[in-house]
Structure 1
Amino acid sequence: MTPLRLGILAPIVSFVAFAFVGCGNANDPSGPNPAPLPNIVWIISDDQSFTDFGFMGHDVVQTPQIDDLAAQSLVFRHGYNPTSLCRPSLATMITGRHQHEHGLTFNDPEPGVRRGIANQLLLQQRPAPSLLAEAGYVSLQTGKFWEGSYRNGGFSEGMTVGERHGDLGLTIGREGMEPIRDFVQRHKDEPMFIWYAPFLPHLPHNAPAEYEAPFADLGLHELTLHYYASILWFDTTVGELIDLMKEEGEYEETIFIFIVDNGWVIAENEADRLVDRSDGTIRPPHWKSKQSQYDLGVRTPVLLHWPGHIAPGISYELVSSIDLLPTSLAAAGLDIPESLPGLNLLPRALHGEPLARNAVFGSIFRHTAKEWDRPDANLFFRWIRAADWKLILPEIENEPLELYHIAEDPLENMNLAHHPEQAERIRELRVRLDAWWSPVAESKDKSNK
């Protein structure tokens, strides 16, 4: 690595030489032996249940590459996305803010509103690539990205130029890794931020036959077989990405952060999922999966891997996708804006310091907005996970209040909300949930409908 990579800052040095200040800055600019800024790679799986990994205990799904990454990482087994839908989940990661704060609560605005208007919501934020650029980072967007051009996310380079899901960006992984290799080869003298969010294992579950072969004789439902094959395909691309960084001499100086955007559970009847009806009402959530308020929709493992710095281990502490940005800023030696609600996970990962958190929060909104500029108008559910308990508060009619003891009931099958002995617990959790909730409901200009 050349000295040019030192950039403007004196970055992170080694495990023992880290110095953290209260705001989360990981670097000491006055240090005598500044080390190179680490590359930062976010690996984002697309539509995969938290259960569907070998390292999470699944005995049929095959994820050998991610399992190997997990064996070398600090694994947070109780990670959460505040929402369980693609676009708002990705927007939460890149902004470090909950969806009612950044405003992108939906996949699509209401009919009659041009998508470009909604795309402007991200421009009102300071997304990860823009903030990291202050430390000299160059950034690459690949895979899923909803906000029009990669430039709208602050990336210096990217594959997506304007379509709904990510147009050319969606070929990454499915059609090789050359755009990433090209980027890495051109920027070896600079710290790099890489967004790897392939359209995998997302539908269409059309993995090549070689990925279906391991499951062919297991008697699986056809839909399940195709899903598992797509997971194995995604897993293979994760291995290819890590091998690429090794081949280019960047692996040892790279922090890898792995997460899933939202869950997925195979439903033989896809109408069982939580969907909007044409009349604007919704069907109750018959399936605990993507777009639902349950852990099979919102929970995810979170992996932190930094060769030679972060010791492998397992944590059962609560973390959230809002933590990715402050953690990355700290790694880059940047101050963390006080307005960001997430935590810097590096003190925990490097020194074992307990996280200053005992609850995470989330909310579930309409797939297609009723009013794109009023998050509260599109709200279905709010939820809080505090210690082992999870409260789900409905914001629509004819839906029950739900309370689950996640440690004993991880798939949320036994609703305890109507047990009299839980009344005080529900009251306390609801107070905390209401204190967290502060939707941005101000009306915005709709003149460009």
Structure 2
Amino acid sequence: MHPKHLILRLLLPLLLSSSLYAAKPNIVIILSDDQAWTDYSFMGHEQIDTPALDKLAAESLTYTRGYVAAPLCRPSLASIFTGLYPYQTGITGNDLLGKDGKKIPRTSKEGAAQHQQLYRDFKKHAGLAGLLKDAGYITMQQGKWWEGDPKTSGFQHALSHGDPARGARHGDKGLEISRKGIDATREFLDIAKKENKPFFLWHAPFLPHTPHTPPKALFEKYQKLVKSPHIARYYAMVEWFDQTCGELLGELDQRGLSDNTVIIFLTDNGWIQRPDSPRFAALSKQDVHEGGVRTPLTIKWPNHIKPVMDLNTPVSSIDIAPTLLKIAGVKVPAAMTGLDLRDRAALQKRNTVFGADHSHNIIGVDQRVANLESRYVVQGKWKLIVYNPNNFPAPKVAGKLNGNANNPEGKPELYDLQADPFEKVNLADKHPDRVAELRKELDGWWDGSAAE
């Protein structure tokens, strides 16, 4: 064989592989951190300005009735990453609770051992970064990340180190992204271009999460609109987050990447700002009411996904992983039961989503149901909340007011979300048949008595 032909024969697979990688769309997940589903201009907020996200929503297939699997960041993020529910991943809370009722430090012998077990169990499940890396993607983590070293979960590049001995908990150095600019993002995009590979970017900035330390000008802007300085700071944080999203989206545009990039946006869990405190109000974070689990969910892919504002169809955060894998041409693991977000007909036919709230602190890594507080099902316009009688009322954690103050006994709660989106009127006593039907659906999903 002529040397030139031999060289061509050796190089051809590489050339074809490079071309194949370049043809695959890039993937970006943008995650808001602690933001109510109402707190965007495109969702009807009359005071908060979110021009970058308004534009993204207008260019996307936007589901205004998105739901997360859990109203707390760590289990919610784990579900987005794996396409599984918290009772399946084992990630049901943020921290560990000891027998003495106190948090177990990650740096203690007991805390380190239990967290290593959590990480091992979590990594038994296929995750987005690893599956996409195996499909030829270059992968990057920045922002919130709880499950140890991101590189052990398929991220080739990561801003977080995950080492508790160096202060790691929920993202360490990675939490600086967007709050201190996006230079790390630019560097990663340069690497992806150099390697001529499609990229997967997990962008989960620590915004608008506390501490609420917005730019002075934004704080002063909202001080003129609201009486509470706490609300003014929160509103300013939301607009600051929007500005950083604009910075990221603008970078993609400037590099000519937007047309071949799939962008998904949602929040990890809700937040309703208290006017008298920096803390969150009841029925938001750590609660399965709409203020804790509902989020707009957008997916953009120019010339492939038609922009539509869907006001009615409930969708779940567990739908994200299988959607992205299908787009990337990757076989979806059987354990992922979510639907393709592009298939509105299938989603409308399903018309049902589920989720659960566990306590902030995990009570024994082998007892995944020990800290279960409540479960919810949304079907069409109806929503049922069922409390775990073994954990009601649950202990107050970090200022949390558990459950509904109008329901001190923890009875089932039924809401008509079409007429009552803020869940003011419990209709359970008026519609016992509907409660029974939805309870059957909820128990069919997961009855709260065992973990997989």
Smaller-chain TM-score range?
0.7 to 0.9
Counterpart for residue 171 of structure 2: 166
Corresponding pairs, count: 401
Alpha-carbon contact 1:360-1:386 (below 8 Å) kept: yes
Does residue 216 of structure 2 align to residue 205 of structure 1? no
Counterpart for residue 375 of structure 1: 368
> Aligned partners of 1:58, 1:269: CA distance in 2, in Å?
21
Shift in alpha-carbon separation, 1:4–1:169, aligned structure 2, 3 A: farther
Counterpart for residue 189 of structure 2: 184
Residue-by-residue CA offset, 1:123-165 (whole Å, 9 max, x unaligned): 1211101111221011100000011211233211101101101
Does residue 274 of structure 2 align to residue 287 of structure 1? no
> Cα offset for 1:272?
8.3
Q: What is the identity percentage for the equivalent residue pairs of Structure 1 and Structure 2? A: 40
Does residue 238 of structure 2 align to residue 227 of structure 1? no
For structure 1, which runs of at least 5 residues remain unmatched after alignment? 12-34, 274-285, 444-449
Does residue 318 of structure 2 align to residue 322 of structure 1? yes
> Aligned partners of 2:346, 2:423: CA distance in 1, in Å?
30
Counterpart for residue 194 of structure 1: 201
Shift in alpha-carbon separation, 1:411–1:393, aligned structure 2, 3 A: same
Q: Residues 11-26 of structure 1: matches in 2 within 5 Å?
A: none
Corresponding residue to 1:303 among 285, 298, 308: 298
Counterpart for residue 38 of structure 1: 25
Larger mean Cα displacement after TM superposition, 178-187 or 305-314? 305-314
Shift in alpha-carbon separation, 1:5–1:386, aligned structure 2, 3 A: farther
Q: Which has the higher helix share?
A: 2
Corresponding residue to 2:443 among 417, 420, 434: 434
Counterpart for residue 45 of structure 2: 58
Alpha-carbon contact 2:372-2:388 (below 8 Å) kept: yes
| Partner AA of 2:303 in structure 1 | G
> Aligned partners of 1:295, 1:381: CA distance in 2, in Å?
13
Q: Residues 66-77 of structure 1: matches in 2 within 5 Å?
A: 66-77=53-64
TM-score (normalised: structure 2): 0.84
Counterpart for residue 366 of structure 1: 359
> Aligned partners of 1:380, 1:271: CA distance in 2, in Å?
24
> Cα offset for 1:250?
1.4
Alpha-carbon contact 2:369-2:451 (below 8 Å) kept: no
Shift in alpha-carbon separation, 1:6–1:139, aligned structure 2, 3 A: farther
Alpha-carbon contact 1:375-1:439 (below 8 Å) kept: no
> Aligned partners of 1:212, 1:441: CA distance in 2, in Å?
47
Counterpart for residue 337 of structure 1: 333
Counterpart for residue 239 of structure 1: 246
Residue-by-residue CA offset, 1:233-267 (whole Å, 9 max, x unaligned): 10001011011112222121100000000000112
Alpha-carbon contact 1:132-1:329 (below 8 Å) kept: yes
**Secondary structure of 1:184 counterpart:** helix
> Cα offset for 1:268?
4.3
TM-score (normalised: structure 1): 0.85
Shift in alpha-carbon separation, 1:272–1:211, aligned structure 2, 3 A: closer
Shift in alpha-carbon separation, 1:382–1:80, aligned structure 2, 3 A: same
**Secondary structure of 2:27 counterpart:** strand
Counterpart for residue 137 of structure 1: 137
| Partner AA of 1:158 in structure 2 | A
**Secondary structure of 1:41 counterpart:** strand
**Secondary structure of 2:96 counterpart:** coil
What is the RMSD computed on CA atoms of the aligned residues? 2.2
| Partner AA of 1:65 in structure 2 | A
**Secondary structure of 1:237 counterpart:** helix
**Secondary structure of 1:392 counterpart:** strand
Counterpart for residue 117 of structure 1: 117
> Cα offset for 1:424?
1.0
